[in-house]
Structure 1
Amino acid sequence: MEKRKVAFYTLGCKLNFSETSTIARSFQDEGFERVDFEEVADIYVINTCSVTENADKQFKQYVKKAMKLNDKAFVAAVGCYAQLKPEELAAVDGVDLVLGATEKFKITDYINDLSKNDMGEVHSCEIAEADFYVGSYSIGDRTRAFLKVQDGCDYKCTYCTIPLARGISRSDALENVLKNAKEISEQNIKEIVLTGVNIGDYGKGEFGNKKHEHTFLELVQALDDVDGIERLRISSIEPNLLRNETIEFVSKSRTFVPHFHIPLQSGSNDILKKMKRRYLREVYTERVNKIREVMPHACIGVDVIVGFPGETDEHFLETYHFLNDLDISYLHVFTYSERDNTEAALMDGVVPANVRAKRSKMLRGLSVKKRRAFYESQLGTSRTVLFEGENKEGYIHGFTENYVKVKTPWNPELVNTLHDITLTRIDEDGSVRMEFNEVLP
């Protein structure tokens, strides 16, 4: 009998990618064959995101795509948007099943019969029931894996729906994280990226147990001792939770790379207070200065939101100048979008869409300038590069430990290998050319 085929598409963050992989493995355990989303499958699973307006629209596009490939296919929606707006997703033409935050990991239990439904069937818990932890990791390409260490968030940022979509902050047991890390390393994967909703909050136990069993620093120290892992990367960590001890440990660590991604969201203290962030800009400056003191060559990425309610031109310029003066390496710029059931959606001082777009464009321009300056500061230095698996127009690309994107003519033998190189010049496409400091076999 021919195996039934299942295909997956993931919208959103690294955490979603790690969870899609775990869900996919549960299908494979049930005898399904995993195929690409572009192929004809019996089941299409779309892991949704709710962070931007765009993610909602993208969901509908991918349902359409699945239906075009096989109009009899069974379509399931999981993830954050599925938890927040299950009825809305169930009403999308072609959707058969919508699973919430706790149900998504038991998806194969809900798929007994693959016949199409007239209306999507919804199984979605009250988010207060999402109080248990499911560990996951993704192995998408052969070079790196996303390892989930934490889920949910106890913060009450006024623009964010993630606590509504993912529940309270809870963490994986340290021994389980280490077990997953070992499993990944045994598959010849060279780099692990730690991921979660609020990973600096790592250590809060399951079932609403708010006692920290272990701290984030202890997690980092334990992972540094796992054999077989060449590189560990911290994906994104709140400035108030990134402690000096962690920064110092990373600077001397065997495997942790000098790359930090630290959300700022605004360079104006007035706006940070309205957002209910748990720090002021002065704390952010301290973190950046501390990293620069012990790792001058580190890459520092920043999340920033433009167009938050009440953000005047003065507030925006405060953010712009703050970031311009700060020794950071690149920005991820988000244009604020209203979200149901958030405090910010009810606030006065709505910023017109065209003003939001203009501010976003200004910060994206600043990001290009910052990345260029960072890359220029690295020219002539020796770094280690991990090459990835794709042939892009005759070149192979990779990233140095401090996240400089490099390129060299395509050579399949370089895929998933680490090399000592010198960065030589910046190419027209913005990536960096390099020379090998070793003789290649």
Structure 2
Amino acid sequence: MSRFGLVEYGAPVSIVNELAAAMGRGNADAARYLLDAGGRIARQVGLKKSPIEIAGSTASSSRVAGLLHLGRSCELEIVPKFLGSHAGGSGWREDFFFLAMLSKHGHILNSDRIRAQSGEENDLDLLLARAISDMYWERHHRPIRAYKRTREQDFFLEGEVDPLDLRFPDAAGYPQEVIRFSRANRFNAAIHAASRITQRHVRKPSAIVALSRVQRHLGSQPTVGHGHHMRLTVPGRARGWQALTDLSVDVVNGLGVGFNEGAGRAPGFMVATWQLWQDLLTLGLRLGFGSSSVRSEVPFSLGKRLRANGSEGRLNVRPDVTVSSNGFRFHVDAKYKGRIDRGKICAAEADVYEAMAFSAASGGLPVVLAYPQLASTPADPVGTIRIVERVQVPGSGPILAVTVEVRGISRRGSFSRFINEMRGALVDTLQGA
């Protein structure tokens, strides 16, 4: 397997010729493969424009990171901007695999029943185990049933029988086709398979027992193999099961659990980096401070719009996250790009101006601009916050530009440490401010 690498927002790299040689095709075919891959990525992550650009024999990328298969013999790796040339050996593929799962299913994992608890490991495997178990028992009294055509033999006629078989039955009865409204179907099979896969990765005995109960209650189900399974749309009468079914399909496909580089079942993955960063911080704050204390993109009125036709409107601003907890109230704005990643120890003016608007619209609340910590710096414990710059503007609350350490977040127990460390660091930082 040949792997070709790009860095998000990095300089163009001459890979078209090498890709063509590895694929045994011409340069035009190789460029077309890359462009097709860019189109697939754009559709997958919801971009209007392909994140891969081709110029002659060079290629560049923006707005995404991940690992993509370009056929049986080639892979394209797009390293996130904040890691750049320091990505090697950092385990970023496992981390981004983990984060892709959290970003997609954060609304499922963010519940009070499975919230991070002090002194307890809450890695993704354990969160998945709790989510599958809790969501299953929440709706088990209305199981998913589907019509299924089966061939059976019985002396009691329930289905379609060949007329010839009526005259000469087998020793076991009449062969017949019967339609059953059964719990043994592809939806329950996906849930059953996901619970078995998750069970192999968790270590907490109570979680293992809970998943075993789910499997026993589901009973015998069709076999579901690893691989790229399509999204299953449950029947309308069972639409409450859709979230668990989606989660189960992703677990079976390999997202989030047991990512082993080079394993045949590990699919490629690609994420929109800025959205992933915002989702991670939002979920971490909700799990750390509590869902009721954290609100996303709440509008604050900054002023009025006076239009030429005489009408008036509100001028609103929307910080990514607003936290209100135990006397603390502040905004957090996720910033994936900025001057910090170019080696300048300060926030970009545009980010500061935006933070000033957030603070002014909310009566002077503090604003935290959160950037990912660069891989060029020594690794800190996951969740560590470093203050890069403090900005004080008359009429505005304190503005803090910080970096957040996320390297190693996919390791066992690191997600819980990330939540607790980030929460404690934010409280200490704001007390000092």
TM-score, structure 2 as length reference: 0.28
Structure of greater relative contact order (alpha carbons < 8 Å, 6+ residues apart): 2
TM-score, structure 1 as length reference: 0.27
Q: Please identify which structure carries the higher helix content.
A: 2
